[in-house]
Structure 1
Amino acid sequence: MTRLFDQIEVLGRIALDDAPATPGSEEALQAAATAIRFIETSGQTYDFEDYVQSLEAYAPPLAIGRFATREEAEAGMKARRRPPAAAFVLIADAYYSAMYVPSTGKTHLVSLPIILEHYLAEMANDGPKPSGLSFDSKAEAEAWLHQQPTPPQQVVILIAGAPYLAAYHHRIDYRVLYPLPPPTPPSQEA
Structure 2
Amino acid sequence: MAPKEFNLERVLEELEGLAHEDARTPEQIAAIESAAKALHFIRRTGRLDDFRDYLRDFNADAELATRAEQSFSSMAEAMEWLHAQQDPPYGATVEVAGLPHLVSRQRSDKWFLVPAPPLPPPETEDGP
Q: TM-score, normalised by structure 1?
A: 0.35
Structure that is richer in helix per residue: 2
Q: TM-score, normalised by structure 2?
A: 0.48
Structure that is richer in strand per residue: 1
